[in-house]
């Protein structure tokens, strides 16, 4: 069940990135989300997430594989995925993505997001 919920959130996140719709990406983030993307400093809030994805280049796509998703409390799921961000020129940035999902008013939203480098194989 936790993996399905995480997959549902990731599907919206992925679609928004793939079609360069930052507002769509923002729909899965909590209003007070803590966000650590590729920039060195974290930001807080859904608006900062939308701004971050608006600044990403057109043609960016992401593919992911869920590594783990587990419920740590009734309303909290920690999810971990390998993500390949592919730019329009074909360059691939391999990353790991951690998301902490929180159920708020019946919806699962990202309350915490962190990206790290994926070790080379």
For 17-47, write each residue's pLDDT tens digit. Answer: 999 999 999 999 999 999 999 888 999 999 9
Structure tokens belonging to residue 14: 């992925």
Name the pLDDT band for 117 (thresholds 50, 70, 90).
confident
Domain residue limits at 13: 2-117
Is pLDDT at 116 greater than 80 in this prediction?
Answer: yes
The C-alpha angle with vertex 83 and arms to 121 and 4, in degrees rounded to 5, equals 125
Q: Which long-range contacts (CB under 8 A, 24 or more apart) does 5-8 make?
A: 5/69, 5/77, 5/101, 5/108, 6/66, 6/69, 6/77, 6/79, 6/81, 6/99, 6/101, 7/66, 7/69, 8/108
Residue 120: predicted pLDDT: 65
d(CA 83, CA 117): 10
Is pLDDT at 121 greater than 60 in this prediction?
Answer: no
Residue range 89-93: mean pLDDT, rounded: 96
- Per the structure, the count of domains in the chain is 1
Can you give the pTM of this predicted structure? 0.94
Which CATH number characterizes residue 67's domain?
A: 3.10.450.50
Residue 118: predicted pLDDT: 75
Residue 78: predicted pLDDT: 98
């Amino acid at each position: 069940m936790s993996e399905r919920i995480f997959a549902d959130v990731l599907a919206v996140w992925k679609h928004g990135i793939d079609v360069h719709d930052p507002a769509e990406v923002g729909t899965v983030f909590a209003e007070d989300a803590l966000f650590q993307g590729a920039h060195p400093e974290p930001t807080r809030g859904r608006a900062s997430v939308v701004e971050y994805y608006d600044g990403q280049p057109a043609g960016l796509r992401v593919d992911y594989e869920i590594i783990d998703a587990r419920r740590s409390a009734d309303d909290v799921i920690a999810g971990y995925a390998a993500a390949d961000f592919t730019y329009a020129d074909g360059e691939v940035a391999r990353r790991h993505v951690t998301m902490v999902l929180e159920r708020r008013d019946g919806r699962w939203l990202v309350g915490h997001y962190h990206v790290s480098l994926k070790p080379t194989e």
